[in-house]
Copies of this chain bind each other. A is one copy, B any other.
Amino acid sequence: MAWIKVVGTGPGKIDYLTLRAFNLLKQADLIVGYQRYIELIKEEFSDKQMFDFGMGDEYLRAQKAIELYLSGNKVAVISGGDAGLYGIASIVIEKMIELNIDFEKAEFEVVPGVTSATAVSNMFGSVLTQDFATISLSDYLIPWEEIEKRLIEFSKLDISIAIYNPISSKRVQNFEKALEILRKYRALDTLVVVSENAYRDGEKSFVVTLRDLKKEDVNMSTIIIVCPSNARIIVNDRKTYVLVPRYYRKESGNF
């Protein structure tokens, strides 16, 4: 029987797929996805037919996946991280409605994955411990004015802010404007965690202050977490941890 599943593949390596995601990919006939994420899993699922697409063609990708399902295939549409958050799930659902696909017959399901914010948080120990917000700096689908408004309000609150899609080769100015906002509302010595290719080959992760963060530190594969004021840096052995205590602004820390 044919089916269609949207599967979140987590931050990178197969190791960070859920068992459910792994098993569904093993059962699938075809895997459809953005080429970058196909690349990360294709060795493990080398017996599958893969359909890789470029960036920006999400609606085409969703349409192709549905066509392949309608021709009788078990189709897994993959999305890095969680399939929902800044992912392809909503686009597949929109297309399914548009094409009058029976969700139940299609055994439709969106399989959750580990999103980059929590993945990167854990690389440094525990950056996201308390309330946090996520924001994408891409203004392709959301107007910059709205992104700016959100970033200002998040910056005024003493919470962690996970920044997705900080910069692209064509889009540098949003990151520069974001840095200005963050520096206006947060102390310059605020800790910022930067991770490029988290849990993938070529990983590069480090901690900087808001003062020193610069555009050369980030690219399309980077996730940034701006820490709250009670974050502490801990250099233990050869590894750096960033600890956000569970309590809020407790005057006398336990260490």
A interface residues (Cβ-Cβ under 8 A, vs B) = 8, 10-11, 14-20, 22-23, 58, 82-87, 89-91, 93-94, 97-98, 102-105, 110-115, 118-119, 121-123, 125-136, 141-143, 146-147, 149-150, 153-154, 156-159, 234, 236-239, 241, 243-248, 254-255
Pick from B14, B83, B121, B129: contact of A122, CB under 8 Å:
B83
* CA of A97 to CA of B114, assembled, Å: 27
Main secondary structure of the interface of A (DSSP, over half): mixed
Q: Given that A112-B16, A157-B153 are known contacts, is A255 also in contact with B94, CB under 8 Å in the complex?
A: yes
* A11, A122, A157, A245 pick with most chain B CB within 10 angstroms: A122
Nearest-Cβ distance from residue A21 to partner chain B, whole angstroms: 9
Would A118 and B82 count as touching, CB distance under 8 A? yes
Would B141 and A98 count as touching, CB distance under 8 A? no
List residues of chain B with CB within 8 A of the CB of A87. 126, 129
